[in-house]
Amino acid sequence: MEIKTTRVYDFMSIRRYWIAFSLIAALVSAVLVWKPGPRYGIDFLGGTELTVQFNGPVSTDDIRTALERMGNERPEVVPTQSTSRPNEYIIRVEKTSSLSNAERDNIRREVDRRLRETPDRGTLGDYRLSPGGDHLVVQINGGNMSAADVSTLLRDSGANVRGDAAIQMGARDDHRWQVPLIGVGDRIFRQLTAARAQGGVGVEGRLNASVWVSPKAGKELREAAVRAVAYSIVFIMIYVAFRFDLRFAPGGILALTHDALVTLGFFVITRKEVTISTVAAILTVVGYSMNDTIIVYDRIRENLARRRNARMLDVINISVNEMLSRTILTSTTVVLSVSAFAVIGTGVIRDFAWAMIVGVVAGTYSSIYVAAPFTEWIDSRFFHTPVAQGEVAMTTAAADAPSETA
C-alpha cells in the first residue's frame, strides 16, 4: 500500500515551532524525572514474589482485587500458563518485610524486658531484621539458651515465628541465632486463599515459591538499566557516523535522547510504574526511532548526491516528502497493533503498550523535526560551502524529484 501525492509539503518552514515544542517537552520530562521522579516498580525498589497454585480456576482480576484489599498497591498477577501446573500464578507485591519498624522495635523492647526479669538466661546483644524481612538475628550473651528457648522467647515477645527452633549462627560461644519468621509471602498466601467473606478468593491452593528482591539489588538494577539505554545510544551514534557521515550522527542521537526522555516523562506524569518492561519498551522505542531516522537519512544522502548544488534544507524537504508514505503507514501500523494491548491488556503489558505508543509518536516526528533540522544546522555551521548564484531552489528540485516510494 502507498499514499500517492504530487504535493511537496514544506516541513522545514515550520521547523522552529516543532523544535521549540520538542525542547520544552524534553526539558519538562527531564525536570519531572529529577523531581518528583519515576514511580519505580518492584524490580527497582525491591519486593516479594510468590508462586501460588490454586486448587481450582481463579481469575487474575479476583486475585488482584483481593491483594489490593490487603493494602498492596498495584500488585502484579501473571498466570504461568503451565500445562503441568494449572491455575498457577506469579504474584509480585512491593512489601519485603512482614514487620514494620515499629513492630520490630516493640519486639526488641519486649525481649530485652523479659531477659532482664530472668538474668540467668543472658542479656540481649545484636538484634536486627534481615533485609528480606523473613528472619530476625539475635545475640544473647551469657546464659545457655537452646534453639527452642530462643524461638519461644521471640514468639512470646510478639514475633510471628515460623517453626519451633531457631538456627544457630557462627561458633557456639557467639550465642547468635537466626529466627525464621512467617514472611510476606506466607501472610499473603494465607489471606489470599481465605474465604471471600474474609477478603480472599475462596479457593485453596499451595505456595510453590516465595522470594524477595532487596532494595540494594533494585538500585543496582536501576543503574544497569540506565547504562543499557546510554550504551545503546552511544553505539548507535558510532554506527550512524560510520554508515553515513559525521554530520548525521549528532541529530540522530539528539532525537533518540528526546524520544527516551519524552517516554519516561509520560510515565512520570501518569504515575505509571517504571519496571524492567518499561526499560525494554524504551530500548524498543530507541531502536524503532533510529530505524525511522536512518530511512530518512538514507534518502537525504541519495538526494545530496543527485543535487549537489541544492541547499541541505531543500534536500531534507524533498527526502521527507518521498518517505512520507512509508513513515505514516509504518507508524500507524505499529500504533494500531499495540493499542489493542493498551486497551484490553493488564498490568505490565498495558504499561509496555503505552510506552510504545508514546515512543512511536515521538520517534516519528523527531525524525523530521529533531534529527533533520539539527543535521541541517550542523551542515550549515560546519560543512556548508557557498554555491553559485544559480543555486537550485526547492521548487525546481522538487519538480524533478523521483516518484514517492513506500
Is the Cβ–Cβ distance between 80 and 92 less than 8 Å? no
- Of residues 111 and 45, which shows the higher confidence score? 111
Determine the Cα–Cα distance for residues 354 and 339; give it in Å rounded to an integer: 8
pLDDT of 406 over the 50 cut? no
Is the Cβ–Cβ distance between 279 and 232 less than 8 Å? no
Residue bearing cell 516479594: 48
Q: Tell me, what amino acid is at 305?
A: A
The predicted pLDDT at position 98 comes to 64
- 395 confidence band (pLDDT: 50, 70, 90): very low
CATH number at residue 311: 1.20.1640.10
Residue 343 shares a structural domain with residue 243: yes
Give strand pairing partners of 163. Answer: none
Residue 144 shares a structural domain with residue 258: no
Is the Cβ–Cβ distance between 275 and 348 less than 8 Å? yes
The predicted pLDDT at position 357 comes to 92
pLDDT of 59 over the 70 cut? yes
Phi/psi at 298 (nearest 5 deg)? -65, -40
SS3 at position 142? coil
The model's pLDDT over 247-289, given as tens digits with 9 standing for 90+, comes to 788 888 888 889 989 999 999 998 888 888 888 888 888 888 8
Q: How many CB atoms lie within 10 A of CB 195?
A: 11
Helix axes 15-34, 249-270, angle to 10 degrees: 50
Residue 204 shares a structural domain with residue 243: no
Q: Is 298 a domain residue?
A: yes
The secondary structure element, H or E, covering residue 189 is helix 184-192
Q: Is 75 a domain residue?
A: yes
Determine the Cα–Cα distance for residues 28 and 257; give it in Å rounded to an integer: 14
Q: How many domains does the structure of the chain reveal?
A: 3
pLDDT of 200 over the 80 cut? yes
What is the pTM (predicted TM-score) of this model?
0.65
Provide the 8-state DSSP code for 404. P
- C-alpha cell of residue 225: 538499566
Determine the Cα–Cα distance for residues 45 and 39; give it in Å rounded to an integer: 9
Determine the Cα–Cα distance for residues 120 and 232; give it in Å rounded to an integer: 64
Residue 300 shares a structural domain with residue 167: no
- Of residues 164 and 235, which shows the higher confidence score? 235
Residue 207 shares a structural domain with residue 65: yes
Lowest mean pLDDT, pick from 23-32, 112-121, 252-261: 112-121
Q: How many CB atoms lie within 10 A of CB 247?
A: 19
Closest alpha carbon to 133 in 80, 212, 238, 72: 212
The predicted pLDDT at position 388 comes to 40
Lowest mean pLDDT, pick from 93-97, 146-150, 252-256: 93-97
pLDDT of 19 over the 80 cut? yes
The predicted pLDDT at position 358 comes to 92
The domain boundary residue, chosen from 159, 182, 205: 182
- Summarize the confidence of residues 221-237 as an average pLDDT: 82
- Of residues 215 and 152, which shows the higher confidence score? 152
The predicted pLDDT at position 54 comes to 92
Provide the 8-state DSSP code for 248. T
The model's pLDDT over 47-58, given as tens digits with 9 standing for 90+, comes to 788 889 998 889
CATH number at residue 148: 3.30.1360
Is the Cβ–Cβ distance between 183 and 98 less than 8 Å? yes
The secondary structure element, H or E, covering residue 136 is strand 135-141
Determine the Cα–Cα distance for residues 127 and 175; give it in Å rounded to an integer: 12
Taking CA atoms, 384 is separated from 247, 255, 381, in Å, by 11, 22, 7
Query: Residue 73's domain spans which residues?
Result: 47-97+185-213
pLDDT of 28 over the 90 cut? yes
Residue 207 shares a structural domain with residue 221: no
Q: Is 33 a domain residue?
A: yes
Q: How many CB atoms lie within 10 A of CB 110?
A: 16
pLDDT of 130 over the 80 cut? no
Residue 177 shares a structural domain with residue 189: no
The predicted pLDDT at position 405 comes to 39
Taking CA atoms, 358 is separated from 79, 226, 273, 355, in Å, by 27, 19, 15, 5
Percentage of the chain beyond pLDDT 70 is 87
The predicted pLDDT at position 6 comes to 59
Taking CA atoms, 245 is separated from 88, 181, 212, 304, in Å, by 54, 62, 49, 12
- Of residues 36 and 401, which shows the higher confidence score? 36
Listed ranges 75-79, 149-153, 315-319; the one with the highest mean pLDDT = 315-319
Task: List helix spans (H) across 70-179.
Answer: 101-117, 147-156
Q: Pairing relation of β-strands 123-129 and 88-93?
A: unpaired
Residue 232 shares a structural domain with residue 368: yes
pLDDT of 350 over the 50 cut? yes
Q: How far is CA 149 from the centre of its chain?
A: 46
CA atoms within 13 A on the CB side of 282: 26
Determine the Cα–Cα distance for residues 402 and 303; give it in Å rounded to an integer: 10
Determine the Cα–Cα distance for residues 377 and 282; give it in Å rounded to an integer: 27
Phi/psi at 248 (nearest 5 deg)? -85, -30
The model's pLDDT over 285-312, given as tens digits with 9 standing for 90+, comes to 888 888 888 888 888 888 888 887 888 8
Residue 376 shares a structural domain with residue 235: yes
Closest alpha carbon to 143 in 116, 106, 169, 164: 116
The model's pLDDT over 352-371, given as tens digits with 9 standing for 90+, comes to 899 899 999 998 888 888 88
pLDDT of 24 over the 90 cut? yes
Residue 335 shares a structural domain with residue 275: yes
Helix axes 147-156, 101-117, angle to 10 degrees: 120
- 31 confidence band (pLDDT: 50, 70, 90): very high
Residue 28 shares a structural domain with residue 139: no
